[in-house]
Amino acid sequence: MKSPHPDLAMSWFHRFLSLATRAAGKDEDWEFTEEPHTERRRKILKKYPQIKQLMGYDSNIAYITTVEVLIQLFMCWVLQDANWSSILILSYCFGGVLNHSLGSAIHEIGHNLAFGHSRPALNRILSIWCNLPMAVPMAVTYKKYHTDHHRYLGEEYQDVDIPTRLESYLFRHPITKMLWLLLHPIIHGIRPFYKSPKPLTGWEMINTAVQLIFDVVILKVFGVKSLVYLLAGTLMALGLHPLAGHFISEHYLFNGGQATHSYYGPLNFVLFNVGYHIEHHDFPYIPYSRLPEVKKIAGEFYDDLPYHTSWCKVVWDFIFKDYMGPHARGVGYLKDEKTEAKADQNGRVKIEQNGVCKVKSS
């Protein structure tokens, strides 16, 4: 394996440890220092200031997501009298794919990348529109907590994407890890409320009210089967599903202490380039359509980093590799004087051993 860029070798980006290591240590040994992408961002912008020109928004996402919402409404009409097996199969293979795509659009819109930071209300309205086929109100709440995921990436208690210690203890066996994946949309949905609760906002109440009205209309106009099609698609596609591999690939420690991994594969087309995850965390105000350009301009900051090429492989390894599971979620920030000792004890997972990540040689 080729070593990371030498200027970045000692940054927090390469010094994350697993949640299991964090849980086994003492709380006083850990402290939040600096979000791990901050140093990378500074160095990249210093060398390539033209990347700032990529920042902004891309309103084309509004047209794409509107087509997806309308397709889901059409499917509700088509499936109102279908048999239950067809409902479930199409929910997993088609409706779930569209709903997961809309979920990724909600992530993008949550960064105000549809209409810009000067028009937050339009971004919230579009996210609520995208939320409709998902059947469960989540768009505005997701934005509220996702902000902390970027600001406190790897900080156990502020980054609500990090599983709880109880999750890391309970879900270690392949069967229980499959159960965790099946329950992932529910666990992921309720975790913020008990891990880092925040006051309810007006936009969240609007989101909930609009969603409930939409669900009732679907139920009355098309019947229970159409509503089940939408809800089942959301639950299945965000759970034990190939597309859900991106939840694992992004910040789990497949390769030593690397805080974030990217995925470069065809499914980025479906999920609005969410696989360009290192690039996204480096520059969260660059829209999805321009993230490949970041990698192209600043290639030496990305090309030598391990990356994923298959979310199916990610899910498979998560289930069947002993070193993977909720306990393998990357966390920081161990105090400087303790980092080297802990890293030596924990060891580095070699790419040649797990076969998940690849390194592109320069």
Q: What is the pLDDT of residues 189-207, one digit of tens each?
A: 999 998 889 999 999 999 9
Give 3-state DSSP helix, strand, coil % of the chain, rounded to 5: 60, 5, 35
- Tell whether the model's pLDDT for residue 5 goes beyond 50: no
In this structure, the dihedral spanned by the alpha carbons of residues 80, 84, 88 and 90, taken in order and rounded to 10 degrees, is: -50
Q: How many C-beta atoms surround the C-beta of residue 26 within 10 A? A: 7
For residues 17 and 85, the model is more confident at 85
Give residue 336's pLDDT.
63
- Please tell me whether residue 239 adopts helix, strand or coil conformation: coil
Q: How many C-beta atoms surround the C-beta of residue 202 within 10 A? A: 8
- Tell whether the model's pLDDT for residue 113 goes beyond 90: yes
Q: How many C-beta atoms surround the C-beta of residue 27 within 10 A? A: 9
Evaluate whether 30 touches 334 at the Cβ level (below 8 Å).
yes
Q: Amino acid letter at 318?
A: F
Evaluate whether 264 touches 306 at the Cβ level (below 8 Å).
no
Partners of 334 in the beta sheet?
30
At 35, the pLDDT band (50, 70, 90 cuts) reads: confident
Q: Which of 139-153, 300-314, 322-336 is predicted with the least confidence, judged by mean pLDDT?
A: 322-336
Give residue 311's pLDDT.
97
Give residue 254's pLDDT.
86
The Cα–Cα gap between 67 and 131 comes to 13
- Tell whether the model's pLDDT for residue 56 goes beyond 90: yes
Q: Which of 104-108, 320-324, 330-334 is predicted with the least confidence, judged by mean pLDDT?
A: 330-334
Q: What is the pLDDT of residues 141-176, one digit of tens each?
A: 999 999 999 999 988 888 999 999 999 999 999 999
At 11, the pLDDT band (50, 70, 90 cuts) reads: low
Q: What is the pLDDT of residues 345-357, one digit of tens each?
A: 443 333 333 333 4
Give residue 26's pLDDT.
81
At 333, the pLDDT band (50, 70, 90 cuts) reads: confident
Q: Calculate what percentage of the chain has a pLDDT beyond 90.
A: 75
- Tell whether the model's pLDDT for residue 341 goes beyond 70: no
The Cα–Cα gap between 282 and 277 comes to 8
Which of the 8 DSSP states describes residue 91?
I
Which of the 8 DSSP states describes residue 4?
P
Close Cβ partners of 326 (under 8 Å, ≥ 6 residues apart): 19, 163, 167, 168, 171, 177, 180
Structure tokens at 267: 């499914």
Give residue 269's pLDDT.
96
Max Cα-Cα span within the chain: 65
At 118, the pLDDT band (50, 70, 90 cuts) reads: very high
List Cβ<8 Å contacts ≥24 apart for 116-119: 116/56, 116/57, 117/285
What's the mean pLDDT when you consider all of the chain? 88
Closest by CA to 354, choosing from 275, 258, 272, is 258
For residues 20 and 131, the model is more confident at 131
Question: What H or E segment, with its residue span, contains residue 307?
Answer: strand 307-308
Evaluate whether 292 touches 278 at the Cβ level (below 8 Å).
no
The Cα–Cα gap between 87 and 80 comes to 9
Question: What H or E segment, with its residue span, contains residue 358?
Answer: strand 357-358
Question: What H or E segment, with its residue span, contains residue 191?
Answer: helix 184-195
Mean pLDDT value of segment 42-51 = 96
Q: What is the pLDDT of residues 229-272, one digit of tens each?
A: 999 999 999 999 999 999 999 999 987 889 899 999 999 999 99
